[in-house]
């Protein structure tokens, strides 16, 4: 195991982004002075933001709750993707935070609870920093929990497993007119990988009591494998993506096996009631079981699985505080200068480059808007940040080409050399690199065709401390259930989406502030720590955790 010099790449040099290069971290007095200044700024911001921030559940609250609910039971988080990747660069090993909602949300939970996180190691320097059991402490420079990496055969990982999860389950659950590929060898690879995850979880746990938090559709069979060897384990699955209706699910050849896998869990969580209801309906159609509609539970072969909703949210306080620090405003100005935006109004999209996110639909709507409102040309700039995703799948390759072509066409029609109508940024940005874009944007457009929740919508709201932004939101996101003060428009309706963007750009400032204030209340009222605390609380209330203090025992 080799000691890397850690550095998280930062787009906006000079901002206070986290830097873990050991050469830079150190003893210098200026460093201490800088930290003191930062702490004082944060205190001032905390006071300025008042109850919006101080009433929120914190990482410490979650840590206390976890101890109280779980006693000496160990928490294990398992997900396909790792929260941090170690990559080789000419200047040494760098640590990159994985993009995507699950990784960013669960990282906060793992930090607070000190859970062990099991995920597959996929980056080129991942092995170099781990011990012989695949373990490494993270995050670098502020180690709070253990990441245990699982090494899968490249062929299983690259071809079968990814293709099954992302080429079959993903389109099956999202229902966005992309046909799922049902290929038997890929299904077998999925089974095999789930077995391997179960092995890794069990070896990490030893004989201790434990609560296993399985994350997402990659691990749909893991609970059966765990249950066979450790019937006493408490197992929770959180399904981060939509659950389809039973008609669509009927087309899936291995539907019974997948449902059996999920029913080996004690608790299955979804973001919204609609998906939870779809799940109950599907079980009722496919398996002989007793559905308890009163308690929202399923009984099958003597065991009970509860189904609950836990709408996920980011760490809103963290985002609000970051957005109100001077570096965020400076970063926003830098972006304005670098992209030569002048005094243009800014429309922003931030997504993984995924066909479910409605990026071509968004660009088409913006084009429609500029076509019909010449007065907006040159006075509005669209920034689309789209991090490449699943690049080995043909659907994603053709999406990338489509987005580039639409961007080029739009710029040919309505942009000029020094004022493009749309800026396409295809990079993965760190948390602190993203914040200035949120601060800068007058309008954020989230136009997903279907989305379990969509964290970008909530992150934008959390960053709009000055109430100076408007959100255009697709009704097909889980977030639309909570953020009803967003301007909602269907991404399938180009004219309606164009009109919504136009309306957001011209919203009266008082109305814009009123809507944003209402949405900020929603986002502040529920953050990632509440999400995790409620799951742990239910695991205890429903008597799922062995080794935990009995309900009513002092905490």
Q: Which residue is nearest to ligand ADQ (CB)?
A: 101
Instruction: Give the residue with the Cβ less far from ligand ADQ, 136 or 444.
Output: 444
CB of 386 to ligand ADQ, least distance (A): 6
104 counts as binding ligand ADQ under rule CB under 6 A: yes
Instruction: Give the residue with the Cβ less far from ligand ADQ, 105 or 523.
Output: 105
453 counts as binding ligand ADQ under rule CB under 6 A: yes
CB of 356 to ligand ADQ, least distance (A): 7
Instruction: Give the residue with the Cβ less far from ligand ADQ, 280 or 457.
Output: 457
449 counts as binding ligand ADQ under rule CB under 6 A: no
352 counts as binding ligand ADQ under rule CB under 6 A: yes
219 counts as binding ligand ADQ under rule CB under 6 A: no
133 to 172: interface string for ligand ADQ, x by CB under 6 A: ----------------------------------------
8 counts as binding ligand ADQ under rule CB under 6 A: no
The CA distance from 37 to 47, in Å, is 15
- Backbone dihedral angles phi then psi of residue 415, each to the nearest 5 degrees: -110, 175
Query: Could you tell me whether strands 290-292 and 297-300 are parallel, antiparallel, or unpaired per DSSP bridges?
Result: antiparallel
DSSP string, 344-357: -EEEEEEEES-GGG
User: What is the chain's Cα-based Rg?
Assistant: 23
CB of 427 to ligand ADQ, least distance (A): 6
CB of 442 to ligand ADQ, least distance (A): 19
361 counts as binding ligand ADQ under rule CB under 6 A: no
The correct pick among 73, 93, 95, 102 for binding ligand ADQ (CB under 6 A) is 102
The correct pick among 126, 266, 361, 451 for binding ligand ADQ (CB under 6 A) is 451
The correct pick among 350, 422, 524, 548 for binding ligand ADQ (CB under 6 A) is 350
As a residue count, the chain comes to: 555
> Could you write out the three-class secondary structure of 273-294?
HHHHHHHHHHHHHHCCCEEECC
Task: Please give the structure tokens belonging to residue 167.
Answer: 């080429």
Beta strands in 403-483 (DSSP E): 422-425, 443-446, 470-473
User: SS3 for 268?
Assistant: strand
Site size with ligand ADQ, rule: CB under 6 A = 24
User: SS3 for 127?
Assistant: helix
The CA distance from 146 to 152, in Å, is 19
End-to-end CA distance of the chain: 40
CB 239, CB 267: distance < 8 Å: no
CB of 459 to ligand ADQ, least distance (A): 5
Task: Please give the structure tokens belonging to residue 385.
Answer: 């940040």
Task: Please give the structure tokens belonging to residue 211.
Answer: 């609560």
The CA distance from 109 to 58, in Å, is 10
What secondary structure letter does DSSP report for 477?
Answer: B
> Could you write out the three-class secondary structure of 23-60?
CCCCCCHHHHHHHHHHHHHHHHHHHHHCHHHHCCCCHH
85 counts as binding ligand ADQ under rule CB under 6 A: no
Considering only residues 371 to 430 of the shown chain, the ones binding ligand ADQ according to CB under 6 A are: 385, 387, 428-429
The correct pick among 297, 456, 483, 545 for binding ligand ADQ (CB under 6 A) is 456
Query: What is the number of other CB atoms lying within 10 angstroms of the CB of residue 439?
Result: 25
Instruction: Give the residue with the Cβ less far from ligand ADQ, 260 or 530.
Output: 530
CB of 11 to ligand ADQ, least distance (A): 10
The correct pick among 4, 17, 83, 100 for binding ligand ADQ (CB under 6 A) is 100
The CA distance from 83 to 465, in Å, is 28
312 counts as binding ligand ADQ under rule CB under 6 A: yes
CB 391, CB 345: distance < 8 Å: no
Q: What residues make contact with ligand ADQ under the rule CB under 6 A?
A: 99-102, 104-105, 240-241, 312, 350-352, 385, 387, 428-429, 434, 451-456, 459
């Amino acid at each position: 195991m080799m000691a890397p010099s850690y550095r998280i790449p930062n787009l906006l040099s000079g901002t206070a982004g986290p830097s873990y290069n050991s050469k830079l971290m150190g003893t210098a007095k200026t460093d201490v002075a800088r930290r003191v200044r930062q702490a004082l700024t944060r205190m001032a911001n905390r006071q300025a933001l008042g109850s919006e921030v101080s009433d929120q559940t914190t990482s410490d609250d979650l840590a206390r709750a976890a101890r109280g609910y779980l006693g000496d039971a160990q928490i294990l988080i398992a997900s396909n993707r790792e929260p941090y990747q170690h990559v080789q660069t000419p200047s040494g090993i760098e640590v990159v935070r994985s993009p995507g909602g699950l990784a960013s949300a669960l990282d906060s939970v793992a930090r607070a609870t000190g859970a062990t996180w099991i995920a597959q190691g996929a980056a080129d320097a991942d092995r170099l920093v781990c011990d012989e059991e695949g373990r490494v402490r993270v995050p670098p420079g502020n180690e709070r929990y253990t990441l245990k990496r699982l090494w899968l055969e490249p062929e299983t990982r690259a071809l079968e497993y990814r293709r099954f999860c992302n080429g079959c389950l993903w389109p099956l659950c999202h229902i966005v007119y992309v046909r799922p590929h049902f290929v038997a060898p890929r299904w077998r690879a999925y089974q095999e990988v789930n077995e391997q995850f179960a092995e890794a979880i069990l070896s990490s746990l030893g004989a201790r009591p434990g609560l296993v938090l399985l994350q997402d559709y990659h691990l749909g069979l893991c609970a059966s494998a765990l249950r066979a060897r450790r019937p006493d384990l408490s197992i929770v699955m959180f399904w981060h993506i939509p659950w389809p209706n039973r008609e669509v699910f009927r087309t899936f050849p291995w539907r019974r096996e997948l449902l059996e896998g999920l029913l080996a869990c004690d608790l299955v969580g979804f973001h919204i009631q609609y998906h939870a209801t779809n799940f109950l309906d599907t079980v009722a159609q496919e398996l002989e079981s007793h559905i308890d509609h009163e308690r929202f539970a399923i009984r099958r072969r003597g065991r009970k699985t509860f189904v609950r909703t836990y709408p996920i949210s980011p760490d809103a306080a963290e985002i609000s505080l970051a957005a109100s620090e001077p570096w965020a405003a400076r970063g926003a100005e830098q972006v304005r200068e670098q992209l030569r935006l002048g005094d243009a109004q800014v429309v922003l999209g931030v997504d993984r480059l995924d066909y479910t996110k409605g990026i071509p639909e968004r660009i088409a709507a913006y084009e429609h808007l500029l076509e019909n409102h010449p007065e907006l040309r040159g006075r509005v700039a669209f920034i689309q940040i789209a991090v490449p995703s699943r690049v080995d799948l043909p659907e994603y390759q053709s999406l990338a080409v489509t987005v580039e072509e639409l961007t080029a066409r739009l710029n040919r029609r309505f942009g000029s050399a020094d004022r493009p109508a749309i800026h396409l940024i295809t990079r993965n940005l760190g948390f602190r690199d993203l914040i200035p874009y949120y601060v800068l944007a007058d309008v954020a457009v989230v136009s997903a065709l279907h989305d379990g929740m969509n964290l970008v919508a909530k992150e934008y709201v959390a960053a709009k401390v000055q109430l100076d932004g408007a959100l255009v939101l697709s009704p097909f996101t889980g977030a639309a259930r909570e953020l009803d003060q967003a301007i909602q428009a269907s991404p399938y309706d180009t004219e309606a989406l164009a009109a919504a963007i136009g309306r957001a750009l011209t919203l009266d400032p008082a109305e814009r502030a009123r809507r944003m204030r209402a949405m900020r209340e929603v986002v502040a009222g529920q953050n990632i720590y509440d999400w995790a605390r409620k799951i742990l609380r239910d695991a205890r209330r429903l008597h799922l955790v062995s080794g935990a203090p009995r309900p009513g025992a002092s905490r």
